[in-house]
Structure 1
Amino acid sequence: MTGLDETDLALLRILARDSAQSAGALGRRVGLSQPAAWRRIRRLEEAGFVTGRSLRLDPGALGLGVTVFLGVKLATKGRVSLEDFERAVCAIPEVRRVEHVLGLYDYRLRVVARDLADFERVLRRRIMTLPGIGNVEANVLLTEERFPGPL
């Protein structure tokens, strides 16, 4: 698939808002039959425009009342491979997002916990024992005003 037409773009906009809709419902919204909408969605997936569909859970409702963003600077980049650090940090269930970034820190982590005491336990026992860990800066999330879209 080389380019996207208006119908493809309309399907992507609708899927970005609610990816759980059926092909029939999507087709009705853009003027296609259910099989035609299904084929288009399939082509968009095969071409890599759609890489998955996700479900957003409410951490607070699940008892995870604290979200902390950590800026992590590795102690010495030559001593531990980035892959070793990434593999170890991704194995921590409380770490919900790992981003390798440019700037003051090497990584930005999104960590969830039940409360601040639980976060302190995760920080001391899991994160600070990671291979190559150096400086860490924590920022506690107070409110989240906009949820990220698909892009």
Structure 2
Amino acid sequence: MESVDLDRFDRAILTILQTEGRITATELARRIGLSKSPTQARLKRLEEIGVITGYRALLDPIRMGMAHVAFVEVRLSDTREAALQAFNRAVLTIPEVEQCHMIASRFDYLLKVRTSDIQDYRRVLAEKISALPHVAGTSTYVAMEAVKETG
């Protein structure tokens, strides 16, 4: 996928929408210094070309009883393409895994896992993560506090 050219108005729209996704088109237009129609046209274009991929509600995981965050290094026993694809497909099915990144390091993947507590995490690690295809080993780092998280 290639990058697209964004001017200052496009960037202003994106900056505002990242923190205020429910802003009205009228207010968005006022804040970026354009009228409503060109702002709406830009917004539609940003959606059509895939810069804006969707809109969603941001939930407070702590209020939902999901305060435990762990980062998990995953080492695979096989890193050929078929093994990587099998791991990728399988990890998508684990709802507790919020993020999964392939890493160029001494391990292969870094997962962000959110659970209710350490016991729940232990269950997810044993029953779900360790059972993923080609997992040879894991190392866990428990987060004590989120200093910065952005959506």
**What is residue 150 of structure 2 aligned with on the other side?**
148
- Contact 2:130 / 2:137 at 8 angstroms: preserved in 1? no
**What is residue 46 of structure 1 aligned with on the other side?**
48
**Distance between the aligned counterparts of 2:134 and 2:103, measured in 1?**
16
**Distance between the aligned counterparts of 2:50 and 2:13, measured in 1?**
14
- Contact 1:84 / 1:131 at 8 angstroms: preserved in 2? yes
- Contact 2:71 / 2:142 at 8 angstroms: preserved in 1? yes
**Normalised TM-score (structure 2):** 0.88
- One-letter code of the match for 1:53? Y
**Distance between the aligned counterparts of 1:89 and 1:71, measured in 2?**
13
**Distance between the aligned counterparts of 2:145 and 2:128, measured in 1?**
25
Find the partner of 1:37 among 39, 52, 55: 39
Matches within 5 A, 1:1-150: 3-78=5-80, 81-148=83-150
Alpha-carbon shift at residue 78 of structure 1 (Å): 4.1
Alpha-carbon shift at residue 80 of structure 1 (Å): 5.7
- One-letter code of the match for 1:119? Y
Structure 1: tracts of 5 or more residues without a match: none
What count of residue pairs does the alignment treat as equivalent? 148
- Contact 1:80 / 1:132 at 8 angstroms: preserved in 2? no
- Contact 1:75 / 1:133 at 8 angstroms: preserved in 2? yes
Alpha-carbon shift at residue 130 of structure 1 (Å): 1.2
Residue aligned with 2:136, SS: strand
**Distance between the aligned counterparts of 2:110 and 2:70, measured in 1?**
10
Structure 2: tracts of 5 or more residues without a match: none
Tell me the C-alpha RMSD between the 2 structures.
1.9
**Distance between the aligned counterparts of 1:4 and 1:78, measured in 2?**
37
Q: How big is each residue's C-alpha offset from its partner over 1:104-135, in whole Å with a ceiling of 9 and x where there is no partner?
A: 11101111111101111111111111110012
**Normalised TM-score (structure 1):** 0.88
